[in-house]
Chain A
Amino acid sequence: MYEIDGILTPYFSETDPEKRLIILDKMPDNEALDFIREVYEDRYSDHEKKGRKNVDWWLWRCICLQLLYGRGSFFIFRAFKRHEINAILNELRMNDNDDFHIRILYHEYRNTARRYLSTCKSSGYASSFMGFKQADDKEKIYRACQDIWQMSKGIAISESLEIQNKMKVWINAFHDELMDYDDICRDEYERLDRN
């Protein structure tokens, strides 16, 4: 459904922005290159203009989606929450309907999810009691499943059908990346869906 030219695979497999740029620069001319470069610039630029380097704006927006999922939706604030979610979806180009772009975006979304998941193996992740009790590998995987679900399907199903449709590619990309992460993720994802 989201197949791309095999030449692009190394670029979408790499999560380090600098290495990705090197791969991108070495890539022979092809029809996708301009759009990929545009997405790259968009993803790794400092949208808040605080003069920061090493910004992964899309990763930050993932985290924001998860934070918005956790935020209560008291009816007065529901409109503000929806407005913010829509702004994030636009920044993540989820309103792009071009088939070719969607395929590229799917892989970029998967790359974002992969970068998030790469942080879920660190020693401090999912630790409790002020970092004194470190989580074991299984706990980390469960927590990673929960995070990925919340920043994709969780936030979508808590909102309108329109948002759910907009997020379809995003949800698929995050789901597929999670399924490649560990075998137990499938059951956990389904459990989260049921709850």
Chain B
Amino acid sequence: MNENKFMSAFKQNAIWLVFFVEIAIFAYFNPKFLSLANVVNISRQVSYYGIASIGMTFVILIAGIDLSIGSIIALVNVVCAYLMMNMGWNMWLAILVSIIMAILIGVLNGWMVASIGIPAIIATFASQTVFRGCAYLLSGGLPIPGVVLEHPTFGFFARWSLNRWEIFKAMGDIGLIPICAIIMVICFAVGSFILNKSYFGRYFYAIGGNEEASELSGIRVNKMKYLIYALSGFFAGLAGIVLLSRSGSAQSTAAIGFEFEVITCVVLGGVSVAGGIGRMSGVIAGVLIIGSLKSGMIMMNVSEYTQMVVQGLVLAVAVGVDCFSKKRQAS
């Protein structure tokens, strides 16, 4: 029994072993991989993947999928920038409106999936196309440059720390830690709380495990689906704002193919595409693995096309392992 418990604990945390092995390999080939500057850079790069992956985790846990998050990010980028730069809105108000819009897109996805009964993959693919088109229409296909979100909002904490100790860098960092990474950590904490400590989290697992039994036991499955897709929209919107704060320029072409990278992070983290199985700690590991992989490949001068091949293979392997383990359990 103890051996079984050990093996089960090992299997649950094996993803972290993969992460550390990956780090060791990249550090062996390029010692600068573990430099502070690169670690900070990775944390900055993975932040918006991480934030979006929380919503995607909820969706995949109920055996759904959300292919619209890349388009939500692009639209949030464009709308927020448009409201600020072209209409002179206050930045907080522009962010608020953009995120509410992202939530409403999530609700629309939920409505198509839960009430109309369109398969999630088709419904969210339709959303992806529609809202990417909206982003092109609003921006005219041109970038909206000069968007500064770090001052006076995201930079608030940075300036606060600068005034106090004067040893910290400003421009969006608290000390050495990028604010976007702090936002990601807070989001992961909230996501973990929802999954592990709230009734909602338990409902997500239950719906993914056996939807009909969940319905009979009293869970309002359709309402939950609305909520989950709305949460996915919210986290995608937040990721869009973080991306905008980093790039300083809104582009309707932003985050193309982003949903597949997020799905890779989530599935790699052990969330089953069949639903009902997965943990937030695994997703964190998945996000870090993909972030490190991208950074490591760039440092090793691997071409962008090869990186795409590798990422595709990682997704195939992650889904393959999940399907294989399911098949082995059943046989």
Distance of A67 from chain B, by nearest CB (Å): 5
> Known interface pairs A72-B12, A131-B119. Does A125 touch B218 (Cβ–Cβ under 8 Å)?
no
> Known interface pairs A48-B199, A72-B9, A143-B330. Does A130 touch B212 (Cβ–Cβ under 8 Å)?
no
B1, B218, B323: the one contacting A52 at CB < 8 Å is B218
Map CB proximity to A onto B1-30 as digits: 1 under 8 Å, 0 otherwise: 100110011001000000000000000000
When distances are taken between beta carbons in the complex, the residues of chain B under 8 Å from A143 are 330
When distances are taken between beta carbons in the complex, the residues of chain A under 8 Å from B9 are 72, 74
Residue of B with least CB distance to A131:
B63
Tell yes or no: B269 within 8 A of A by CB. no
Name the prevailing secondary structure of the B interface residues: helix
When distances are taken between beta carbons in the complex, the residues of chain A under 8 Å from B209 are 63, 66-67, 147
Q: Is the CB of B212 within 8 A of A52?
A: no
Assembled-state Cα–Cα distance A119/B215 (Å): 10
Task: Give the contact-size bracket for chain A.
Answer: 35 or more
Residue among B1, B205, B218 with max Cβ neighbours from chain A (10 Å): B218
Assembled-state Cα–Cα distance A63/B208 (Å): 11
Assembled-state Cα–Cα distance A132/B129 (Å): 21
When distances are taken between beta carbons in the complex, the residues of chain B under 8 Å from A63 are 206, 209-210, 213-214, 217
Q: Is the CB of A55 within 8 A of B217?
A: yes
Distance of A193 from chain B, by nearest CB (Å): 12
> Known interface pairs A63-B206, A72-B9, A119-B213. Does A130 touch B218 (Cβ–Cβ under 8 Å)?
no
Tell yes or no: B32 within 8 A of A by CB. no
Q: Is the CB of B212 within 8 A of A67?
A: no
Tell yes or no: B138 within 8 A of A by CB. no
Tell yes or no: A46 within 8 A of B by CB. yes
When distances are taken between beta carbons in the complex, the residues of chain A under 8 Å from B214 are 63
Interface size counted on chain B using CB atoms at 8 A: 38
Assembled-state Cα–Cα distance A60/B274 (Å): 21
Q: Is the CB of B63 within 8 A of A130?
A: yes
Mark out the residues of chain B between 262 and 289 whose CB falls within 8 Å of any chain A CB in the assembled complex: 273-275, 277, 279
Assembled-state Cα–Cα distance A127/B8 (Å): 24
Mark out the residues of chain A between 58 and 88 whose CB falls within 8 Å of any chain B CB in the assembled complex: 59-60, 62-64, 66-67, 70, 72-74
Q: Is the CB of B210 within 8 A of A119?
A: yes
Distance of A170 from chain B, by nearest CB (Å): 17
When distances are taken between beta carbons in the complex, the residues of chain A under 8 Å from B1 are 157
When distances are taken between beta carbons in the complex, the residues of chain B under 8 Å from A73 are 5
Q: Is the CB of B63 within 8 A of A127?
A: yes
Map CB proximity to B onto A102-136 as digits: 1 under 8 Å, 0 otherwise: 00000000000001100110101111111110000
Tell yes or no: B126 within 8 A of A by CB. no
When distances are taken between beta carbons in the complex, the residues of chain A under 8 Å from B217 are 55-57, 59-60, 62-63
> Known interface pairs A63-B210, A119-B216. Does A128 touch B326 (Cβ–Cβ under 8 Å)?
yes
Given contacts A72-B279, A124-B63, A125-B210, 10 further A-B contacts (CB under 8 A): A56-B218, A59-B217, A63-B209, A63-B210, A70-B205, A119-B213, A128-B323, A129-B319, A132-B119, A147-B209
- 29 residue pairs of the A-B complex, CB under 8 angstroms, read A46-B218, A48-B199, A52-B220, A54-B216, A54-B218, A55-B217, A56-B218, A59-B216, A60-B217, A63-B206, A63-B209, A63-B213, A66-B209, A72-B8, A72-B9, A72-B279, A73-B5, A124-B212, A129-B274, A130-B63, A130-B64, A130-B119, A130-B275, A132-B121, A139-B330, A143-B330, A146-B329, A147-B209, A147-B210
Residues of A within 8 A of B (CB): 46, 48, 52, 54-57, 59-60, 62-64, 66-67, 70, 72-74, 115-116, 119-120, 122, 124-132, 139, 142-143, 146-147, 157, 195
